[in-house]
Amino acid sequence: MPDYETQVREAFPELDDIQNDDLRGKVVEAWVRALDRGGWKHIEDIPYAWNIHEVTNVEHVRGVTRIARESATEQREFHGADPDVDVVVAACLLHDVGKCYEYVDFVDEEKLLDPDPEYATEEVPHSLSGYALAHEVGCPLAVQRAIPHFIGEIPTRTMEAELVKSANSASSNAITQSAMGITLQEWVDEYSQTQ
Domains and CATH numbers, the chain: 4-191 (1.10.3210)
pLDDT in the model for residue 154: 61
Indicate the residue type of 131.
Answer: Y
Residue 64: name the closest of 159, 137, 155, 167 by CA: 167
pTM of the model: 0.94
Q: Are 183 and 176 in contact (CB under 8 A)?
A: yes
d(CA 55, CA 3): 23
Which regions of 24-137 does DSSP assign to beta strands (E)?
A: 47-49, 52-56
Average pLDDT over residues 5-22: 98
Average pLDDT over residues 160-188: 93
Contacts of 143 (CB under 8 A, 6+ apart): 23, 87, 90, 91, 94, 134
d(CA 67, CA 80): 18
Average pLDDT over residues 54-74: 97
d(CA 14, CA 8): 11
Phi-psi region of 80 (alpha: psi -120 to 50; beta: other; left: phi over 0): left
d(CA 161, CA 134): 14
pLDDT in the model for residue 192: 75
pLDDT in the model for residue 1: 83
